[in-house]
Each structure stands twice: as C-alpha cells, then as structure tokens.
Amino acid sequence: MKIVELIALIKMDIIRLSSSALDQEGLRHPQWSKFFSPRFTPVLLVRLARYFYLHRWLRIFSPVLTWLNVVIFGIEVTTRCHIGGGLMLPHTVGTVIGSTKIGNNVTIFQGVTLGAKYADLTFDVSQRPTVGDDVMIGAGAKVLGGIHLGDSSTVAANSLVLDSLPDGSLAIGVPAKIKLKI
C-alpha cells in the first residue's frame, strides 16, 4: 500500500462519517476534529496499523497501534485484513475483526466477531469470513468461518451467521436464517 492509497482510504472514512446521521448533531465541527472522534480514531488506528504492517521497516509499530486500539477502544482488528474505504464503527467495545477482507462502506457495530469457527492461530484465510460492499453488521453479531457476506447484505443484531449470504440479503437469528430484503 502506498501513502496515497492510505490517504484515499482515510478520506473515504471521513467523508462517510461526515455524511452519516451519527455525525449530525446540529453543530459545525472543523474537519480536523474528526481525527479525535471516538467513531473515527479507532478506524484511523486500524488504517495506520495495516499500513505499518505492510511496510517491513515500519512493521515494528503495527502491534503497538493494534494494542492501543484494544486498550482504548476495546476493538481488536488483525492487520492482515484488507479493509475498503468508508469503514464505519459507531461503537467499538467488544468488537473482534479477524476476517480476510472487508469491502467499501461497511458498518460494524459493537460486540461483533468476524472470525474462524475454531481456534486458528495461523490465520488460515480459508477459515475466515469476507465481507462485501455496503454491508451492515448489527451489535453482537457473530460471523464465523470461511463464508462471504454479499454486497448490500445485513446481519441483524445478535445473529450467528455460519453460511454465506447472497447480495441484498438479511440474516437474522441463531443460527441465522437468510431472507431477501424487501
């Protein structure tokens, strides 16, 4: 990843946060203040940790940023996960992201786990989920195994997803039942 790609991703994250209902408090904030928002700072730390991980001479700093996110915001994100622009983390506590790829404009609420079904300390990508574009994952949801969440799909709060979701679908329940959005 080049620095221009990192800047482009961060810009997409800021634009998405600025246009969201979560940022509409009726007050005008300077653009630079977004960097100190509890909805943006964890995303920034994820971006920087990934960037450092991908650059051998900076890699030593990557775990520091990852653990800073764990300690301050309660979110753990593997640096091996490629995350598209426009990531939204409205609340982060208890969130674990151990997937291989997350698309653009994805919203992940608190308490979500994206990971393997079984202990996988080697990070086997075939055991990890991938997430398409424009996906919303509700609070407390668990998405486990080598599955794919299709574009524009939604995972309801506290659902357990063990099967891939087609584009534009809704997963709800434990284990999740898949329904097409109306």
Indicate left, alpha or beta for 168 from its phi (over 0: left) and psi (-120 to 50: alpha): left
CA–CA separation, 182 vs 170, rounded Å?
A: 10
Inform me whether the pLDDT recorded for 117 exceeds 90: yes
Q: What is the pLDDT of residues 2-39, one digit of tens each?
A: 999 999 999 999 999 888 755 555 445 555 555 667 88
Q: Which residue type, as a one-letter code, is found at position 66?
A: T
Q: Are 156 and 164 in contact (CB under 8 A)?
A: no
Q: What is the pLDDT of residues 46-75, one digit of tens each?
A: 999 999 999 999 999 999 999 999 999 999
pLDDT-derived band at 182, boundaries 50, 70, 90 = low
All structural domains of the chain: 3-21+30-180 (2.160.10.10)
Pull the structure tokens for residue 179: 């329904």
